[in-house]
Amino acid sequence: MTSERVRVVRGWEWARPERPARREVLAALPELDQAKPPLLFVPGFGHGAWAFAEHWLGHAAGRGFPAYALSLRGHGDSEPAPEATLRSYTHDVVQAAAGLPRQAVLVGHGAGARVVAHALARYPARAAVLVAPVLGGWGTFGTALRRNPTGTLPAVFGAGLRLNRRQLFSRELPDAEARRYVSRLGRAGRRAQWQLLTGRQPEPAVGRPPVLVLGSPDDRVVPAAALTGAARRYASAPLLFPGMGHDLMLDARWREPIDAILDWLEKDPTPALG
């Protein structure tokens, strides 16, 4: 039997509770309840729930998984929140997950994976999936600055981080679709953007749920070495999809990663050993 040090009460969070906000949650439900765990998809900065509603929500429901997608405050059709922080976004995820009918699987994309990693310390998830995770730090900033200097540098001074077609999608995706998706991108709160670079690392997950990390070695936002490092944190290796861009859920071959996620979940992964 092993003992584990757990911080049950976070005094400063009780003293300064997060302001509630109206959240957009889109859903796709299977025709018959197969008792599979619900999936809560959390988009990255600039993206809303629409990014998962395009393909992954319906596809997951078609395979029997209740599927939900959350727009973090300030994104999609959720309440505007220009001063949102990573803590605000984490609160959104925990509250949305707590409102689902069964213990959920949290699926975070991009910077949304960083939010999910923080939420795992507050919500006992069934499992988690980190898709093309942007887990923060100055290495992330350096990569973004090299590959997209005009879109990245203004974010340091409070402007929105601007991502382009080449970073997000492969050449396989038709230009008209890529332009439509890029036109829907919004911006994260400036404080949250800064915290992504400088903020503290997530605390250990409650209950040590199994965590799958996946992405593309050709991602122009998250380098392959970062995918390996993220997976190593959870004692695993990343699942890779060569030839795809950062937005795996919108790219031309979107079926491959979501089917891999659902296949993994259907094997009923067990919690990691302490």
Question: In which region does residue 214 sit, left (phi positive, over 0), alpha (psi from -120 to 50) or beta (all else)?
Answer: beta
Q: Flag whether the pTM goes above 0.85.
A: yes
Closest listed residue to residue 274, CA positions, set 231, 237, 238, 235: 235
Long-range contacts of 254-261 (CB under 8 A, 24+ apart): 254/54, 254/55, 254/56, 255/55, 255/59, 257/131, 257/214, 258/55, 258/56, 258/59, 258/60, 259/59, 260/214, 261/107, 261/129, 261/212, 261/214
Q: Which two tokens stand for residue 257?
A: 């990663």
Strand intervals (E) in the chain: 24-28, 39-42, 67-71, 105-109, 127-131, 211-215, 239-240
| Sole residue written with tokens 């619900």 | 38
Looking at the chain, the whole-number percentage of residues with pLDDT higher than 90 is: 65
**What does the pLDDT look like over 17-29, one tens digit per residue?**
788 899 999 999 9
Q: What is the pLDDT of residue 193?
A: 79
pLDDT at 110: 94
Q: State the Cα–Cα distance between residues 25 and 38, nearest whole angstrom.
A: 13
**What pLDDT does 227 receive?**
94
Architecture label for domain 20-266: 3-Layer(aba) Sandwich (3.40)
User: pLDDT band at residue 200, thresholds of 50, 70 and 90?
Assistant: confident
| Helices and strands per DSSP (H, E), number in the chain | 12, 7
